[in-house]
Amino acid sequence: MLDASFKAGSLPAGAGVGYKPQHFTDITQAPGPVKWLEIHAENYMGDGGRPLAQLRALAERFPISVHGVGLSIGGEAPLDTDHLGRLKHLLGWLDPASFSEHLAWSTHGAEFLNDLLPLPYTNTTLARVAAHIDQVQTTLGRRMLLENPSSYLAFAESTWSEPEFLAELARRTGCGLLLDVNNVFISATNLKTTPQDYIDAFALTEVGEIHVGGHDEDTDEYGAPLLIDSHGKPVVDPVWALLDHTLTCAGPLPVLVEWDNDVPDWPVLRDEAARAAAALSRVAA
Amino acid sequence: MTTVSQSLFRQALLAPDRAAPDGLRDSDGHPAGARFDVYRNNVVVSLVEALHAGFPVLAKLLGKENMDGMARMFVRVHPPSSSLMMFYGEALPDFIASLPQLSHLGYLPDIARLELALRHAYHAADASPVASESLASLSPEDLLATRLTFAPSVRLVRSPWPIYDIWRYNTRAGAPKPTPTAQDVLVTRAEFDPLPALLPPGGHAWVQALLQDHSIGKALDFAQQDAADFDMTGPLTLLLTGNAITSLKDKD
């Protein structure tokens, strides 16, 4: 359970972007509406050099959100304490405004599979994930945010809905939640549910950050739509609409635009951030 | 109810011919086929892309199609052993050397070793170099007795192939074509960008001995066993301009 001395997140309720090194100069000279930046923790676990120098410079100007992709919190195996130690070191010197990770697994035995893999939602997995979150928060001495995944399939064995599973994790561990609206849209399309219903069932009071991003469109072997979380395109209009719905229900929150593949020139990403800022200004007004 | 363990999931993930595990389905109750393939594809494609990004000269030499094919074989046999993807591919040089279909391109493993050395140098800890005058002010006797400490970014790559020329030809416009010769390379990082430099005969032995904490004079002995006319001026200049020397130590 969360200790009263733990640090809580403090990102501004404005637009942020996922930081890409090719945008370093543009971001420092013309950030536009961008109020904060998110980095992938694992890219800053080297010993030195340009990545860390750039991060130190950015952290002097922007609140930083550290977003982990390698902790495997949903894994069956114990957490990798070496990795947790590297995370503690990074958060220790950087002292970021927020730390978040995924409801997913990526490590099996000695292997790292470099993808966010899904888990069933059962009492067994609930207890295990809660124990992992406890261990992370205790080791790091701060509250973490846990992100909802994008789903392509369902586990027959699941007995919890995803919003209920996440809400129960937040209740048991005191962690916050990161609500990825694009993931909600992807999962709802892929599993034939209604994205607004998912948002309405979500523990919005626990949400400390929102993600939007682009996805690819495909179909499965039965001709059913299959959306893929690629982070390689602009955010589609239905996802912007879902963001509006979410902000109307939850009030202003930090909103991040993710663009990780086929990364565009800065003005394109800045314009996406401006759309997120405009959505926020509509609820703040 | 069928439970899908992560072992089962993992086995199917890296075996394209295997069916998706029972217990995974779409919203209509069909078993997951194409939907499981999304994860298969994500894992393999992201790892193949990581190898392209980490070994750009190797990828250029092989061409996209051959690099993709080789990388797809590699990621199934050697998935990452750490979430630090910045160092993924340590096993690639030996893997390439083991492939009969690439044996006619004998220099490829050493090119991959050079690219690994550059990547390690890129992420190595920062260090403060000594001023070059601190060496120049020593008497010849004291200079020979001095031992050096090095920045963590310093790397050596030894090869019977012209790896420096091949690297330069594929990264620098207008660079001359490689000619068949053995080349040893010193990697330094003056600020943030690692730079490979060609060492003269004996240079590898000299720097290697210094890295092993021998004195400059003792390192000179090693170097001259390799190349009788070895002159340390060139390699020493490379170390100094590359900000590779972080302190001088007196004789024990």
Domain of A53, CATH number, reads 3.20.20.150
Q: What residues of chain B lie within 8 A of the CB of A80, using their CB?
A: 83
Can you give the three-state secondary structure of A167-201, one letter per residue? HHHHHHHCCEEEEEHHHHHHHHHHCCCCHHHHHHH
- The percent of residues above 90 in pLDDT, for chain B, comes to 94
Cross-chain residue pair A48–B152, CB shorter than 8 Å = yes
CB contact under 8 A, B83 and A222: no
* pLDDT of A3 higher than 80: no
CA of A152, closest CA in chain B: separation in Å?
5
| CA angle B141–B142–B146, rounded 5-degree value | 125
Residue A23 — φ and ψ, nearest 5°? -100, 5
Residue B159 to residues A71, A171, A198, B110, B229: CA-CA distances in angstroms? 38, 59, 59, 6, 21
- The beta-carbon contacts of B93-99 under 8 Å, at least 24 apart in sequence, are B96/B70, B99/B70, B99/B73
Q: How confident is the model at residue B111 (pLDDT cuts 50, 70, 90)?
A: very high
- Residue B252: is its pLDDT beyond 60? no
ipTM of the complex: 0.93
In-domain check, residue A80:
yes
Quote the pLDDT of residue B16. 85
pLDDT computed for residue B115 by the predictor: 98
Alpha carbon dihedral A10, A11, A12, A16, in 10-degree steps, equals: 180
pLDDT band for A10, please (50, 70, 90 cuts): confident
Does a structural domain hold residue A260? yes
Place B225 in a pLDDT band, splitting at 50, 70 and 90. Answer: very high
pLDDT value for A284 = 78
Domain count, chain A: 1
What pLDDT, in 10s, does the model give residues A90-128? 999 999 999 999 999 999 988 999 999 999 999 999 999
Centroid of chain to Cα B70:
18
Evaluate if residue A21 carries a pLDDT over 70: yes
Buried b (16+ CB within 10 A) or exposed e, A223-240: ebebbbbbbbebbbeebb
* Residue A223 to residue A160: CA distance in whole angstroms: 28
Give residue A262's Cα distance to chain centre: 19
**What was the pLDDT predicted at B51?**
98
Do B182 and B159 form a contact (C-beta atoms < 8 A)?
yes
Q: What is the mean predicted confidence (pLDDT) over B21-47?
A: 94
The yes-or-no verdict on residue B247 having pLDDT over 70 is yes
| The residue count for chain A | 285
pLDDT at B250: 77
In the three-class reduction of DSSP (H, G, I as helix; E, B as strand; rest coil), residue A50 is classed as: helix
Residue A108 touches partner B, C-beta closer than 8 Å: yes
Q: What would the pLDDT profile of A34-88 be if each residue is shown by its tens digit?
A: 999 999 999 999 999 999 999 999 999 999 999 999 999 999 999 999 999 999 9
> Each residue of A154-208: pLDDT tens digit?
999 999 999 999 999 999 999 999 999 999 999 999 999 999 999 999 999 999 9
Smallest Cβ–Cβ distance between B82 and the set A53, A108, A112 belongs to A112
Q: Is the pLDDT of residue A215 over 90?
A: yes
**CB-based contact (8 Å) between A191 and chain B?**
yes
Q: Is residue A153 part of a domain?
A: yes
| pLDDT average, residue stretch B71-79 | 96
What distance lies between CA A127 and its chain's CA centroid? 21
More confident residue, A91 or A7: A91
Closest CB from B38, B83, B126 relative to A48: B126
Mutate: best of A153, A221, A261, partner B, most B CBs <10 A? A153
pLDDT given at position B2: 83
Query: Apex CA B87: angle with CA B83 and CA B90, to 5°?
Result: 115
Between A2 and B204, the more confident residue is B204
Domain that holds residue A108: 15-284
B2 closest CB neighbour out of A43, A153, A156: A156
Contact A162, A190 (CB under 8 A): no
For residues B137 and B178, give the distance between their C-alpha atoms in angstroms, rounded to a whole number. 39
Residues of A in contact with B43 (CB under 8 A): 113-115
- Angstrom distance (rounded) from CA A187 to CA A266: 29
A2 assigned to some structural domain: no
Closest CA to B5 of A111, A157, A79: A157
As a whole number, mean pLDDT of residues B193-212 equals 98
- pLDDT class for A7, splitting at 50, 70, 90? low
The position carrying tokens 């561990």 is: A173
What SS3 state is found at A218?
strand
